[in-house]
Structure 1
Amino acid sequence: MMLSDVLSTLPDGAVRLAATALCPNAAFRMRESAWGIQFHPEVSVGSFAHWVGHNQSLTSETRTRLIEEVRSERPAITDFAKTIARRFSEKVRETA
């Protein structure tokens, strides 16, 4: 995660679904009807490069490495985003 606007503490009753070293609450839910994610599975390489380019705490080498990692992993990221969308829509149908 590159941005500083993360939910660092979950509200009472929330359930953590995913965490990373930089974002302890990367995905979570409140009861069965409210879900949240703090990442962008739909991000394009161009958008990611733009975000990374504005992060002054990263060296040029690190920026280049991160962009290349996203570029090389783009097919897996796309598959992951599709899985999230499919599972979310299934959950919505189940609870509707």
Structure 2
Amino acid sequence: MLDGRPATWTAPAMHSSVVTRLPPGGRSLAANPDTPIEAAEIRHGNGTFWGVQYHPELSLGEIAASTAHQAKDVIDQ
């Protein structure tokens, strides 16, 4: 999943949920000071599954629109 990525990179992370432990067969692939498991690989049976906390699917425009939509809540928090 991370082939070709540098050791560190910037990714949009807009969440308050944090994964703190993985199930059996899980391996942390990325972390940061705020999120101990930012990306993970989980092997179960014959399958390999990947999950991320950050949002690689969002464009900068979508992030800006979401931030504007949630501005009051973000400021209140």
Q: TM-score range by the shorter chain?
A: 0.5 to 0.7
Distance 1:21 1:51, change over 3 A: farther
Matched, 1:41 2:53: no
How many residue pairs align between the two structures?
A: 59
Q: How far apart are the structure 2 equivalents of 1:12 and 1:21?
A: 23
Say which SS state the counterpart of residue 11 (structure 1) adopts. coil
Matched, 1:57 2:71: no
CA RMSD of aligned residues (A): 2.4
Say which SS state the counterpart of residue 34 (structure 2) adopts. coil
Q: Which amino acid aligns with 2:63?
A: F
When normalised by structure 1's length, the TM-score is 0.48
Identity of aligned residues (%): 36
Matched, 1:8 2:20: yes
Shift of 1:5: 2.9
RCO higher in structure (CA 8 A, sep ≥6)? 2
Instruction: Give yes or no for contact 1:15–1:30 (8 Å, CA) kept in 2.
Output: yes
Q: Which amino acid aligns with 2:59?
A: S
Residue segments in structure 1 that go unaligned for 5+ positions in a row: 59-96
Larger Rg: 1
Instruction: Give yes or no for contact 1:2–1:51 (8 Å, CA) kept in 2.
Output: no
Query: Counterpart in 2 of 1:90?
Result: none
Structure with higher strand content: 2
Shift of 1:7: 2.3
Q: How far apart are the structure 2 equivalents of 1:50 and 1:23?
A: 24
Q: How far apart are the structure 1 equivalents of 2:32 and 2:26?
A: 17
